Amino acid sequence: MKTQVVIIGAGPSGLLLGQLLQHAGISNIILERQSPEYVLGRIRAGILESGTVDLLRKAGVSRRMDAEGLVHDGVEFLFNGKRYPIPLKKLSGKSVMVYGQTEVTRDLMAARNEEGGTTFYQTRNVEIHDLQETAARVDFEYHGEKYSVECEYVAGCDGFHGVSRQAIPKEILREYERVYPFGWLGMLSDTPPVNDELIYAHHDRGFVLCSQRSLTRSRYYLQVPLTENVDDWTDDRFWEELRRRLPDTLANKLQTGPSLEKSIAPLRSYVAEPMQYGRLFLVGDAAHIVPPTGAKGLNLAASDVNYLWRILCKVFHEGRTDLIPRYSELALRRVWKGERFSWFMTGLLHEFHDRDGFDQRIQQADREYYLSSEAGQTTIAENYVGLPFEPVE
Ligand code: FAD
Ligand code: PHB
């Protein structure tokens, strides 16, 4: 087989890149380790920045998102029992969209099916070769048969545990990491959200996020120690703990019901540099991870796709191979700002049991400053809705 771009991974970054390249007349094949049902069963991100929304519109997959997604012009913070609404639109000129990663992925899969894009699901043993040669090669197994694809470029969209990053020699790859001493226990339920806007709350018992997927489906998260086991959390225990961490005005409004999903995610900040090596580009979680507190994971994946798609269009249509090394530089500049914001939000809102008195007072002062000053709120707002993309030239 031969194609212009092999995309490894059919998560949001691989599928979105495939769709944009397809529309630009650039042939591509996607290789995915799991089945489509498995990929759709993973409950992950819920908030789209306005730049991500624009990119999904450019990719022609926005019909359902525009009809069913909820535009949020604000977000709320809560600490010491006091609520701080942040008017995102007023302060930054932009809004965010509540539309889950599962639905984005479903729309992208449907569009690829309709347009006849080639995707191999349930592949095994994907191997990347010849990244420094005149053509790259990707080998894989599919239903017990061995296949080989020759291509000009490889997009590594295969998440944190994929194979692409490992194709960059150890002496070239630099890694930066922070691991946090807690995780998030998430619960999805078909109950109306407790509040119109998302609420990020600090409580002495730990952080809480009240999020949502629609007017009838809620997503709640509780900060928990890494030693917690999800099987020890019955639905009743989850609702009870959530109530304890909310002020009475909200706790009394909380509508409970059976969970559709519960899981614990560890929190980590991670960046691998560079994001390009020879004919390989790393995209999304394959190159970087953020703690979910800033809602940046999926949005940074879309940010990388934005840069790579624009660069590949210029490479294939205008012969601009000089732009290839620019990918890493452009993508990383935005990634590090997303890393900074996610790290900052995590530090601001969580309970750190290992912090000494000084650090706790600084955290308290930070919360008071950022949430009660318009300048502080504007800083949060402009990062939350997403920083602008740089032009590719
Ligand atoms: P992924 O979605 O990880 O997709 C990578 C794909 O590559 C997968 O389908 C995988 O099966 C496939 N793959 C891996 N290895 C191979 C291989 N060798 N061969 C072929 N295919 C392969 N972000 C938020 O903003 N908010 C959240 O609440 C949130 N919660 C999260 C919870 C969890 C448990 C995780 C892991 C992430 C969460 N994120 C969240 C982050 C967000 O979901 C990711 O940033 C986003 O999924 C990145 O998309 P991606 O396409 O780059 O990677
Ligand atoms: C979610 O709805 O899953 C979600 C929303 C905002 C975040 C993280 C997760 O910051």
Which among 298, 300, 305 is the best mutation to test ligand 1's pocket, defined by most ligand atoms within 8 Å of the CB? 298
Q: Which residue intervals of the chain are DSSP H helices?
A: 12-23, 36-41, 50-58, 63-68, 88-92, 101-114, 235-245, 248-251, 297-318, 326-349, 357-372, 374-384
- List pocket residues of ligand 2, CB cut-off 6 Å: 45-47, 209, 211, 219, 292-293, 295
Task: Classify 94 as helix, strand or coil.
Answer: coil
Ligand nearest to the CA of 16: 1
Nearest CA to ligand 2 atom 1: 46
As a residue count, the chain comes to 393
pLDDT tens-digit readout, 296-314: 999 999 999 999 999 999 9
CA distance 11 to 6: 14
Q: Can the peptide bond before residue 291 be classed as cis, meaning omega within 30 degrees of 0?
A: no
Ligand 1 and 163: CB distance under 6 A? yes
pTM of the model: 0.97
pLDDT of residue 349: 97
State the distance from the centre of ligand 2 to the C-alpha of 203, rounded, in angstroms. Answer: 18
Which among 35, 44, 224 is the best mutation to test ligand 1's pocket, defined by most ligand atoms within 8 Å of the CB? 44
Q: Reply yes or no on whether 200 is catalytic.
A: yes
- Residue 219 CA, closest ligand 1 atom number: 28
State the distance from the centre of ligand 2 to the C-alpha of 343, rounded, in angstroms. Answer: 15
Nearest CA to ligand 2 atom 6: 295
State the distance from the centre of ligand 1 to the C-alpha of 174, rounded, in angstroms. Answer: 21
Ligand 1 and 162: CB distance under 6 A? yes
Ligand 1 and 39: CB distance under 6 A? yes
State the distance from the centre of ligand 2 to the C-alpha of 6, rounded, in angstroms. Answer: 30
Going edge to edge, which strands form the sheet with 47-48?
47-48, 96-98, 70-72
CA distance 173 to 164: 12
pLDDT of residue 153: 98
For 126, 149, 272, 274, 327, the CA distances from 143, given in Å and listed in that order, are: 13, 16, 32, 34, 35
Nearest CA to ligand 2 atom 7: 295
* DSSP codes, 261-314: EEEEEEEEEEEEE-SEETTEEE-GGGTEE--GGGS-HHHHHHHHHHHHHHHHHH
- Residue 211 CA, closest ligand 1 atom number: 28
Going edge to edge, which strands form the sheet with 82-86?
82-86, 75-79, 199-201, 208-212, 218-225, 174-189, 259-273, 288-289
Active site residue: 84, 99, 277, 384, which one?
A: 384
pLDDT of residue 80: 87
State the distance from the centre of ligand 2 to the C-alpha of 42, rounded, in angstroms. Answer: 14
For 194, 226, 289, 340, 346, the CA distances from 178, given in Å and listed in that order, are: 32, 15, 10, 11, 12
State the distance from the centre of ligand 1 to the C-alpha of 285, rounded, in angstroms. Answer: 6
| Tens digit of pLDDT at every position of the chain (393 positions) | 999 999 999 999 999 999 999 999 999 999 999 999 999 999 899 999 999 999 999 999 999 999 999 999 999 999 988 999 999 999 999 999 999 999 999 999 999 999 999 999 999 999 999 999 999 999 999 999 999 999 999 999 999 999 999 999 999 999 999 999 999 999 999 999 999 999 999 999 999 999 999 999 999 999 999 999 999 999 999 999 999 999 999 999 999 999 999 999 999 999 999 999 999 999 999 999 999 999 999 999 999 999 999 999 999 999 999 999 999 999 999 999 999 999 999 999 999 988 899 999 999 999 999 999 999 999 999 999 999 999 999
Ligand 1 and 224: CB distance under 6 A? no
Ligand nearest to the CA of 303: 1
* DSSP codes, 137-194: EEEEEETTEEEEEEESEEEE---TTSSSGGGS-TTT-EEEEEEEEEEEEEEEESS--S
pLDDT of residue 354: 87
